[in-house]
């Protein structure tokens, strides 16, 4: 791409100065808050669709494709500097067909063109700006562009003029370049590497690599910027369960504590910010994403189940309470994200001066609070304070000569007071679209937490969310991607099907209502029809009925969220046990065998895959509970299942008096109560131990791993 680098640095653009009449863009009728944010730009934006693509072909104009998302800080900056600049907007309208895409609504477009940007520039990110031919082939792009040339870096005006000129004057070179880019995209998209039957040795190898990347000082993996990596942490918990490796659990616990003490965790309101800009979890990028809080909640829940440590339970509850309080729609759907910015300043909503806290709390309470949360006159971020825990509460209590319980009571009172004060500030905006896949992630952990914690409000929220998704995100039998303002649209992707199926399985486990199991199975059957390609032994991210794109994307790696394929394998393995249908297991086997080398050689981006491989490699237990599950004896048996970390166990139950209950799973067939009491059957490969009626006996049977 040296040709384009030369053009960008040497071309001097001449832009027509006349303002003209601002053209209305077409984003005001969209359901994506991100697109609506750009509806008042003077840019003649189109949403992705045939109208814009046809216009490009008819006028032989290149396409300027801009991809971002609502909570993206630099997306806001580029909008303010360039897209709301009348002169630059006029230049864009004259030279290009301009298309704006919400990456969260269209992960397929984001995936395809992000690969192109990474090939062109060596890195990626958002906002993403890609220049396409009318045939949708990329010929140049980048991430954030400043509006004007700065310190030798070409500004957006120069980029626009240079690429517009190159498109018309050097067309042959552009066509050759796009062909080469597409070939590389196809080549790099082919990650499958057949390995044979996965083994425990593969998982051992992955653990060895991960342990070398672990940060023993601050927890987590690698340096700054540091991401929480919840899928890797979940795999480490599974590895600990399978091997009794204490280092795996130690790595998880150390990381969870350091994150919960840091600024990446909202010490007042609960919930986690996107990532830490430093290595020690202090200074976050302040946006909050639904998927991060779902995936991290899962790790805290699982670690609580393993250890019984109430610290993890508290962080879990505070995070789920944040989601239910601030990220939940009246109809039960979960919103996508909370912005990093408020009043056009990143993090302003979450920052405190020492004087403000002193004024609000008074001197005596301030002394305790400031010691615990690292409050200082100079602050720890741009002369203000990000609350983070620097000192042990017990040490503070001893120096203050009061009990730890008293200190905790004072701290809790002051946290609530400051939260009330903060809630009077101008809050960051919330992206209120409800994405099926992200809702599926939160539904899964909410239902699991409801069972473990016996929290009725979590149970009701999980059932309400599952009902909302079932009732609003289907068009006939076709699952849809996104919902906002009463409208659902866009065909669902592989991740929508697999994540929601996982959530429905969790709701079944919580409610024991076989209709949720049927919903999960229907989703899985449709998922196989739409996304699995038997001849290639792979899952694609887009369905067989999807629009034809430059390539049919398939994401092999787990990124910020799990890949649709890794979760698909997990749900297939579970539904195979629940239904006795070997076909599900066979598909999962083929997908897992094709990915094993990649997962064990590059485990850092394969956390969810490794969890699925752990399930596949180890023997699974089937647990059936029969009887009146509303009486204390039945509830006690159920609670054993809910309380334990059982990553290799698949569970089904039937209530007395439900004539169809035993038909929902072969695990339940021919099971009867023992001595008239609710009874549990623990089996491995359908070979069962003696049925038990006592919760302690059930717990002992579940401890047997073989």
pLDDT of residue 393: 82
pLDDT of residue 412: 95
CA nearest 233: which of 306, 302, 307, 310?
302
**Using one digit for the tens of pLDDT, what is the confidence trace for 245-295?**
999 999 999 999 999 999 999 999 999 999 999 999 999 999 999 999 999
Q: In whole angstroms, give the CA distance from residue 69 to residue 649.
A: 38
Domain 621-703 adopts which CATH fold? Glutaredoxin (3.40.30)
CA 605-346-90 angle, 5° bins? 95
The domain segmentation of the chain, as residue ranges, is 2-189, 348-427, 621-703
For the beta carbon of residue 353, count every other beta carbon within 10 angstroms. 14
pLDDT of 22 reads 52
pLDDT of residue 398: 83
Q: Which residues contact 67 (CB under 8 A, 6 or more apart)?
A: 100, 101, 102, 103, 106, 109, 110, 113, 114, 126, 127, 128, 129, 130
Pairing type for strands 621-627 and 337-338 reads unpaired
* C-beta separation of 411 from 375 below 8 A: no
Nearest to 556 by CA among 194, 231, 189: 189
Rounded to whole angstroms, how far apart are CA atoms 526 and 519?
Answer: 11
Nearest 5°: the CA angle 127, 320, 222 is: 50
CATH architecture of the domain with residue range 2-189: 3-Layer(aba) Sandwich (3.40)
Two structure tokens written together for 601: 């050689």
In whole angstroms, what is the distance from residue 378 CA to residue 381 CA? 8
- Share the mean pLDDT of the chain: 92
Q: What is residue 2's predicted lDDT score, i.e. its pLDDT? A: 46
- Residue pLDDT, tens place only, 595-633: 999 999 899 999 999 999 999 999 889 999 998 778 899
- Torsion region of 126: left, alpha or beta (phi above 0 gives left; psi -120 to 50 gives alpha): beta
Q: Which residue numbers in the chain have pLDDT < 50? A: 1-21
Strand residue runs (E) in 263-353 = 275-276, 284-285, 288-289, 337-338, 341-342, 345-346
Q: What pLDDT sits at residue 276?
A: 97
- The answer to whether the beta carbons of residues 621 and 648 sit under 8 Å apart is yes
Strand partners, 626: 654, 679
- pTM across the whole model: 0.94
């Amino acid at each position: 791409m040296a040709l384009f680098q030369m053009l960008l640095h040497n071309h001097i653009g001449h832009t027509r100065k006349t303002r003209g009449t601002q053209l209305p863009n077409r984003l005001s009728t969209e359901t994506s808050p991100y697109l609506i944010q750009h509806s008042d730009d003077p840019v003649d934006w189109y949403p992705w669709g045939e109208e814009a693509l046809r216009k490009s072909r008819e006028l032989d104009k290149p396409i300027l494709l801009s991809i971002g998302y609502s909570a993206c800080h630099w997306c806001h900056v580029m909008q303010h500097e360039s897209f709301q600049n009348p002169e630059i907007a006029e230049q864009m309208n004259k030279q290009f067909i301009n298309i704006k895409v919400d990456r969260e609504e269209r992960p397929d477009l984001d995936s395809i063109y992000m690969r192109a940007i990474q090939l062109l520039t060596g890195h990626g990110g958002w906002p993403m700006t890609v220049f396409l031919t009318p045939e949708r082939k990329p010929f140049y792009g980048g991430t954030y562009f400043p509006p004007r040339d700065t310190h030798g870096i070409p500004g957006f005006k120069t980029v626009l003029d240079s690429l517009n000129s190159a498109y018309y004057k050097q067309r042959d070179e552009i066509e050759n370049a796009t062909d080469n880019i597409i070939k590389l995209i196809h080549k790099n998209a082919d990650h499958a590497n057949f390995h044979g039957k996965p083994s425990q040795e593969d998982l051992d190898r992955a653990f060895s690599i991960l342990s070398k990347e672990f940060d023993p000082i601050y927890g987590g993996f690698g340096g700054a910027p540091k991401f929480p990596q919840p899928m890797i942490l979940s795999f480490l918990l599974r590895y600990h369960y399978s091997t009794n490796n204490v280092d795996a659990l130690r790595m998880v616990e150390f990381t969870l504590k350091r994150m919960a003490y840091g600024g990446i965790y909202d010490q007042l309101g609960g919930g986690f910010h996107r990532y830490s800009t430093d290595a020690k979890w202090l200074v976050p990028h302040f946006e909050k994403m639904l998927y991060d809080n779902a995936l991290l909640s899962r790790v805290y829940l699982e670690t609580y189940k393993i250890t019984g440590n109430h610290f993890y339970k508290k962080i879990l509850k505070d995070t789920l309470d944040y989601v239910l309080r601030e990220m939940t729609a009246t109809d039960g759907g979960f919103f996508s994200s909370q912005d990093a910015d408020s009043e056009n300043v990143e993090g302003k909503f979450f920052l405190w001066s020492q004087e403000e806290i002193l004024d609000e709390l008074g001197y005596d309470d301030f002394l305790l609070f400031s010691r615990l949360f690292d409050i200082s006159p100079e602050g720890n971020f741009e002369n203000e304070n990000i609350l983070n825990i620097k000192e042990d509460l017990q040490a503070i209590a001893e120096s203050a000569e009061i009990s730890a319980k008293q200190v905790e009571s004072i701290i809790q009172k002051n946290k609530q007071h400051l939260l009330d004060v903060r809630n009077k500030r101008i809050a960051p905006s919330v992206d209120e679209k409800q994405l099926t896949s992200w809702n599926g992630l939160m539904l899964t952990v909410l239902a699991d937490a409801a069972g473990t914690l016996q929290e009725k409000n979590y149970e009701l929220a999980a059932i309400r969310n599952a009902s909302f998704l079932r009732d609003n995100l289907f068009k006939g039998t076709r699952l849809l991607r996104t919902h906002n303002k009463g409208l659902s649209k866009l065909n669902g992707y592989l991740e929508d099907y697999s994540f929601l199926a996982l959530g429905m399985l969790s709701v079944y486990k919580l409610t024991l209502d076989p209709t949720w199991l049927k919903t999960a199975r229907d989703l899985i059957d449709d998922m196989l029809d739409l996304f699995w390609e038997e001849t290639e032994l792979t899952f694609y991210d887009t369905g067989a009925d999807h629009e034809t794109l430059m390539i049919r994307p398939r994401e092999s790696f787990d990124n910020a969220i799990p890949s649709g394929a890794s979760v698909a394998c997990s749900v297939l393995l579970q539904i195979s046990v629940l239904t006795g249908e070997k076909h599900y297991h066979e598909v999962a086997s083929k997908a897992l065998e094709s990915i094993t080398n990649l997962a064990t050689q590059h485990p850092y981006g394969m956390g969810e895959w490794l969890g699925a491989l752990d399930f596949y490699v180890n023997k699974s237990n089937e647990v059936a509970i029969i009887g009146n599950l509303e009486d204390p004896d039945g509830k006690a048996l159920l609670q054993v299942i809910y309380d334990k970390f059982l990553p290799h166990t698949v569970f089904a139950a039937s209530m007395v008096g439900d004539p169809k209950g035993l038909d929902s799973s072969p695990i339940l067939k021919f099971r009867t109560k023992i001595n008239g009491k609710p009874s549990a059957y623990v089996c491995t490969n359908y070979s069962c131990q003696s049925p038990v009626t006592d919760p302690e006996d059930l717990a002992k049977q579940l401890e047997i791993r073989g």
